[in-house]
Chains A and B, each alone.
Chain A
Amino acid sequence: MNFIKLTKKLSINSSHPGCKLKSAKIRKTFKSKTENLSEIRKFTEDFLISNRVIKEDRENIILAIDEACTNKIKHAYHLASTYDILISLEIENQLFIAEISDWGEKFDPEKIPMPDINENYKNQRKGGYGIYLMKKLMDKIEYKFSKDGENKIILQKKIKFEKDE
């Protein structure tokens, strides 16, 4: 218990020189259009690079966030381009957390079937891989729906950092 308390205290002071524990947070709102996906990936990559997250984790996280935002643009906002997607990225010690919110149509993840490549081949189904990929790429996915209409997906992944030179 003492260790947990100590960890929390130290993480607040992570800007202190010599402190190995990381704590960083950033947030930004993007309009709901697919042409912003490249900017969203860049925003995510810049955050991960500046916090020295290793390349493999960076690539997996960037793809998962792209998939989450693509789903919101297509399914929450039905490709209407004037709505907001709020992205919040956080690193707390070894854990990366992304919270991505929309205020569009509520999306029920239970209704999306897990893709079966052979079934999809027969049915010429071209979608449904996004959620599956997110589950494969991240450690944990949660959905939160609040009464004011905010639909949030929370993606978590334990990450590794580049070693000091």
Chain B
Amino acid sequence: MTEFYLKIKTIDEINIIELNGYLDAHTAPQLEQAIAKLIQENKFKIIVNFSQLYYISSAGLGVFMAFIENIRNNGGDIKFSSTNDKIYNVFDLIGFPLIYEFYKTDEEAINKFKSSRV
């Protein structure tokens, strides 16, 4: 069985999803459900922390593409933090840096959310 779990914590109304393990076609639905639930609760400011994610396939990438426009239309964003080289390379191959903001730490991403508040 694929090992994957996620944790969500909230700091100043910003939701940080910490991914752990292996994100593939089997485990991507867990992430999909988690983000869908945040949207349902009108929580549109999301940071995804990749520091404990060891593997991502295109099924995982697809989850972010499925929600990003809806989230931005509601004044929010999905920002990425703490991607290791292996994970970032996969994002880079697909062209994600054109669409998503990447930060070294959660704090940097939080500050970006705070500084862009109207």
Contacts and interface: CB of A to CB of B under 8 A. Distances in A.
Interface of A: 34-35, 37-38, 41, 59, 63, 66-67, 70, 73-74, 115, 117-118, 120-122, 124-127, 129-130, 132-133, 136-137
Contacts of A117: 94-96, 98-99
Contacts, number: 77
Given A66-B24, A67-B57, A121 B1 contact: no
6 A-B pairs closest in CB distance = A126-B62, A34-B26, A129-B58, A117-B95, A126-B66, A38-B2
Q: Is the interface of B mostly helix, strand, loop or mixed?
A: helix
A37 B24 contact: yes
B58 A70 contact: yes
B62 A121 contact: no
Q: Is the interface of A mostly helix, strand, loop or mixed?
A: helix
A35 B94 contact: no
A56 to B, nearest CB: 9
Interface residues of B, number: 27
Contacts of A125: 65
B57 A63 contact: yes
B63 to A, nearest CB: 7
B3 A38 contact: yes
Contact of B26 (A35, A59, A121, A122): A35
